[in-house]
Structure 1
Amino acid sequence: MLRRLSLALAVAAASNGLAWADTAPLTAKTDLVSVYQEAVRNNADLAAARADYEATKEIVPQARSGLLPQINGGANLTDTRTDVETSVGDPSLSRSGTVYQATLSQPIFRADRWFQLKAAKEVDEQAALQLSATEQNLILQSAQTYFAVLRAQDTLASTKAEEAAFKRQLDQANERFDVGLSDKTDVLEAQAGYDTARANRILAQRAVDDAFQALTTLTNRDYNALEGIKHSLPVLAPSPNDAKAWVDTAAQQNLNLLASNHAVDAAEETLRQRKAGHAPTLDAVAQYQKGDNDALGFTNSDANPGVRYNGDVEQRSIGLQLNIPIYSGGLISSQAREAYARLNQSEQQRESLRRQVVQNTRDLHRAVNTDVETVSARKQSIISNQSALEATEVGYQVGTRNIVDVLDAQRQLYSSVRNYNDARYDYILDNLRLKQVAGTLSPADLEALARYLKPDYNPDRDFLPPDLTAASEAQIRNTRAQ
């Protein structure tokens, strides 16, 4: 009876026949939503973005303060000694005094400060949207890091199965050589294939460890295992399947694009502020002073022989202060030219971002549609390669094929397995990227994916579609019937 190598047998060998295989069931598995929640709580980049926003939004009260009353208080202590040369000698006069004062200033017309406040509000709106974009990006980043682990685990599982298959082929080649059914070349070819598969498995194990480390960096938590994605996840075209509709949505909701609109508005208000530097300013000023009569200038002198000032003096004043800028060395004009250039810069940056958003939206829309077809084609490729491998093995047993053909067929089979799993994860992530660029990505998208997670997922068993063997056998029967 001919022995047929199927993926099911290879998986069983990978799980049970190799000393390095870890068959212990995975426990304490974490799901996608939990990883995202941990990232929200512990991600350092998000915390830094929030702190940056808290600092940036203070620009509004700082700008508003320039339009509100300003109250200053102070004191002045002086001690003056005067030497006077006269015909009768050089007498010295010494005077000292303390003055307390308070000044209230209320801007009445300050066009530059008004435009500065409007610019600050635009910057605040821009910063809020940029923070929202960072929070939205964390959703995608959580999914990317999570599925990077699953991808690496599935790749490891397929390389373990491939190693087991090549080990079995090596054992078979040795058996055939021992009984004289093949030469030493077959053994050497099988040994080379097994050694390569073993090296690939070692690299795949490192990729799993690296993926888990990236997850720890994202969330500041260590994980032992994750829930895997079911093969029953619907692979559907984007809805609506209209690139223009997605572009229109992105133009209205893309957070970075909305933030760039506020950046342009802020630059426009800053330009108005700089131009207003040529405008006059008007302030209401009230002042109160109390102090020694000498310190305030009320002195006893021969000029006023009938008036004598003794003790403290109080002085109150209120009035309007008008300032008309005439020439400031070209400073205001230079600042206006700088602001105009900055406005032009922000407009060009917005246009560049808009074009990039349009391109990314269309590219991702095409990518998702391509992924839908690719997943189906990759799955069929596994079935076809499995059938081809079994047929090649039969040919090898009867002498119409050599061991190189068998090894090549095995490589094609496991390459198609990895391509299939890559296509699945590409489909998931491209969907999320499309929603992000359109500005619609939310935690609800992760919750929708979490419904297709498998709590008892075992990569060594579940990296293959469950209906694969039946589909392969059906294809073989159809081929024979033809």
Structure 2
Amino acid sequence: MRIAILLAGAALATTSAQAVTLREALVQVYQGNPSLTAARAQQRATDEGVPIARAAGLPQAGVDASFQEFALQATNNIVAPRRAASAGLSIGVPIYSGGQVRNGIRAADARVEAGRANLRSTEAGVFVETVSAYMNVIRDEAIVELNRGNVRVLQTNVQAAQDRFEVGDLTRTDVAQSQARLAIAQSQLQSALAQLDASRENYLRVVGTAPATLDAPPPLPAFPATPDDAVDVAVSNNPALSQARATSRAAALDVRVAESLRLPRVTANASGNYVNYLNSIGGGGLIQSPPNYQRSATLSVGVNLPLFQGGLPGARVRQAQAIQSQTLEQTTFVERDVVAQARTNYSLWTAAQAVITSSEQAVAANELALEGVRAENSVGTRNVLDVLNAEQELLNSRVQLVAARRDAYVAGFALLASLGKAEAKDLGLDGGPLYDPTVNYRRVRNSINDWAKDPEPQPVAATTLGVPSPTQVTVEQNRAATAPRNRLDAPAATTSPAAPPATAPNLRPGVQPPVTPPVAQPPGTRSHVTTPRS
């Protein structure tokens, strides 16, 4: 409930009509992710195991009819019919089957419970994947903006270095260093754009729509105080462990079903038969003609006591016991995995929080260092390479801060999933009524209609084949191809003033990260690196 309140608050706080919130992305995934819709269909198929098991304990009724034409008759039988039409009705009612039906129904119910837990696990896993895809786009957009700002600053540095080279204040080595750093920054920008494209495509794959402007995610709720507390919550609520336990109970009941093969079967039967000879019986004269039809009815109770079945019951029992042993071991394996995931995700989340703190300190320190290096360069105690290195260090620390905020949020949501608290009912999604697997179960559990059928299946999830995806790398390459070339390699060309870079998206609501890229100097203003050395 706490998570639902936080997500609802974040949605209400969004003022931009075009920004997509994490809550809205999760609603789209819940309604149309193919992994989730396929898991729901699988659960509906699992529900049918209960009426299938119940059918073995219900009466069975059948009707048969036939027509016979006697082509050759005995010569000494003058009353033999030449043709006959018959119809019969038979009903069999199982009275005792050694517990096979009862335990079969209980096993089917246990598998339904396991299927519901699997549906919960699939739901949580898809939500974790959605949060990861959402945060990856935000992170990569921020990194692209940081790299674009770095390229603009280095372009200004190269311009200034060329100006000073032409007047003799700098050497070709200084210009080459600036050009090399600019080329590296441009290649880093291309790599960042390619990674952003990959993240956008992954978002399209998971959510089903191309990412527009993504709003900052809401804060996560409070977590358990210690890893051991997290393990206690996970063992109680994790759906994967609930599924393993239910599957183990179903396997134990399958052993009882196999043991019933050794026990007797008692069945009550009722049958009726009607035969009409269609006025084809001979006779007449001294011999009285028999009736033209016959009717009969039979009631019986049958007992089948197995004495020898070639070892089949024993093999079935041993097989079921081996499967039960497998499920017990699988339960232990899943339990270990749940414990490890809870502790690992807790550790990752805690470490990411520490990385955020360290990265914020690094950004502040590198901003101060860059300011000092530029000041020292203006008086000649620092060279161009020192300034370039300081700018690169600041860029690296800002990128690390953006990545750390993404890692912290994803690790925190993954921890929620391992605790069993990252499902639709916990997030309070308001895109319509939540899917209730018990509705279909109640619909089909007591169904005895042999002609029942659901509508023809149609795909629920929409295809993304026709959804266009922006290709940032191609756009940037076209820009680079039309950009003015270096003045050392071509005649002089003027460059337009660079626009101030955009601020990197904030990954934590309410906190403005100190990750604003350096702003290029406007025309007519001399930067620190253009001041002649004494």
Q: TM-score, normalised by structure 2?
A: 0.73
Match of 1:210 in 2: 198
RMSD: 3.1
Equivalent residue in structure 1 for 2:112, among 124, 128, 143: 124
Select between 218-227 and 109-118 the one with higher mean Cα deviation: 218-227
Cα 1:130–1:182 change in 2 (3 A) is: same
Q: Distance in 1 between matches of 2:300 and 2:163?
A: 110
Match of 1:267 in 2: 251
Select between 190-199 and 393-402 the one with higher mean Cα deviation: 393-402
Select between 92-101 and 308-317 the one with higher mean Cα deviation: 92-101
CA deviations 1:55-102 (Å, max 9, x no partner) are 11111011111111111111122333446588xxx9997743222111
Match of 2:503 in 1: 461
Cα 1:443–1:286 change in 2 (3 A) is: closer
Q: Distance in 2 between matches of 1:70 and 1:440?
A: 46
Q: Distance in 1 between matches of 2:501 and 2:48?
A: 50
Equivalent residue in structure 1 for 2:86, among 78, 87, 99: 99
SS at match of 2:66: strand
**Deviation, structure 1 residue 300:** 10
Equivalent residue in structure 2 for 1:143, among 124, 128, 131: 131
1:293 and 1:309 in contact (8 A); partners too = no
SS at match of 1:45: helix
Match of 2:180 in 1: 192
Match of 1:468, as an amino acid?
P
2:267 and 2:302 in contact (8 A); partners too = yes
Select between 351-360 and 41-50 the one with higher mean Cα deviation: 41-50
Q: Distance in 2 between matches of 1:384 and 1:463?
A: 21
How does 1:282-301 map onto structure 2 within 5 Å?
A: 282-292=266-276
CA deviations 1:97-142 (Å, max 9, x no partner) are 2221111111111122222111111111111111122222232222
Match of 1:326 in 2: 307
Cα 1:93–1:325 change in 2 (3 A) is: same
**Deviation, structure 1 residue 207:** 2.5
**Deviation, structure 1 residue 205:** 2.1
Q: Distance in 1 between matches of 2:186 and 2:147?
A: 8
1:32 and 1:446 in contact (8 A); partners too = no
2:79 and 2:289 in contact (8 A); partners too = no
Gaps of 5+ in 2: 1-15, 430-499, 519-534
How does 1:151-230 map onto structure 2 within 5 Å?
A: 151-229=139-217
Select between 331-340 and 113-122 the one with higher mean Cα deviation: 331-340
Match of 2:255, as an amino acid?
L
Cα 1:254–1:68 change in 2 (3 A) is: same
- Whether 1:50 and 2:31 are equivalent positions in the alignment is no
Cα 1:149–1:167 change in 2 (3 A) is: same
Equivalent residue in structure 1 for 2:237, among 253, 268, 283: 253
Q: Distance in 2 between matches of 1:325 and 1:389?
A: 91
Q: Distance in 1 between matches of 2:515 and 2:74?
A: 118
SS at match of 1:182: coil
SS at match of 1:224: coil
Q: Which structure has the highest helix share of the two?
A: 1
CA deviations 1:342-384 (Å, max 9, x no partner) are 1111111111111011011011112222122111111111111
Q: Distance in 1 between matches of 2:343 and 2:396?
A: 30
CA deviations 1:270-298 (Å, max 9, x no partner) are 1111121111111111111111379xxxx
Aligned-residue sequence identity (percent) comes to 22
Match of 1:70, as an amino acid?
Q
Match of 1:388 in 2: 369
Select between 166-175 and 366-375 the one with higher mean Cα deviation: 166-175
Match of 2:92, as an amino acid?
S
2:146 and 2:504 in contact (8 A); partners too = no
Match of 2:291 in 1: 310
Equivalent residue in structure 2 for 1:431, among 412, 424, 428: 412
Cα 1:421–1:445 change in 2 (3 A) is: farther
CA deviations 1:2-36 (Å, max 9, x no partner) are xxxxxxxxxxxxxxxxxxxxxxxx97221111111
Match of 1:206, as an amino acid?
A
Cα 1:356–1:54 change in 2 (3 A) is: same
**Deviation, structure 1 residue 445:** 6.9
- Whether 1:62 and 2:57 are equivalent positions in the alignment is no
Gaps of 5+ in 1: 1-25, 449-457, 473-482
2:78 and 2:282 in contact (8 A); partners too = no
SS at match of 2:212: coil
SS at match of 1:228: coil
Q: Distance in 2 between matches of 1:101 and 1:444?
A: 55
Q: Distance in 1 between matches of 2:40 and 2:254?
A: 25
**Deviation, structure 1 residue 155:** 1.0
Match of 1:240 in 2: 224
Match of 2:223, as an amino acid?
S
Match of 1:21 in 2: none
**Deviation, structure 1 residue 417:** 0.6
Q: Distance in 2 between matches of 1:204 and 1:267?
A: 51
Q: Distance in 2 between matches of 1:421 and 1:139?
A: 22
**Deviation, structure 1 residue 144:** 1.5
Select between 338-347 and 176-185 the one with higher mean Cα deviation: 176-185
- Whether 1:357 and 2:338 are equivalent positions in the alignment is yes
2:83 and 2:277 in contact (8 A); partners too = no
SS at match of 2:232: helix
SS at match of 1:328: coil
Q: Distance in 1 between matches of 2:205 and 2:414?
A: 21
Select between 262-271 and 407-416 the one with higher mean Cα deviation: 407-416
SS at match of 1:400: coil
**Deviation, structure 1 residue 197:** 0.8
SS at match of 1:225: coil
Cα 1:469–1:339 change in 2 (3 A) is: closer
**Deviation, structure 1 residue 425:** 1.2
Match of 2:248, as an amino acid?
V
Cα 1:180–1:463 change in 2 (3 A) is: farther
Equivalent residue in structure 2 for 1:375, among 334, 356, 361: 356
Cα 1:67–1:403 change in 2 (3 A) is: same
Select between 70-79 and 378-387 the one with higher mean Cα deviation: 70-79
Match of 1:183, as an amino acid?
T
SS at match of 2:332: helix
Q: Distance in 2 between matches of 1:240 and 1:320?
A: 64
2:149 and 2:501 in contact (8 A); partners too = no
Match of 2:352, as an amino acid?
D
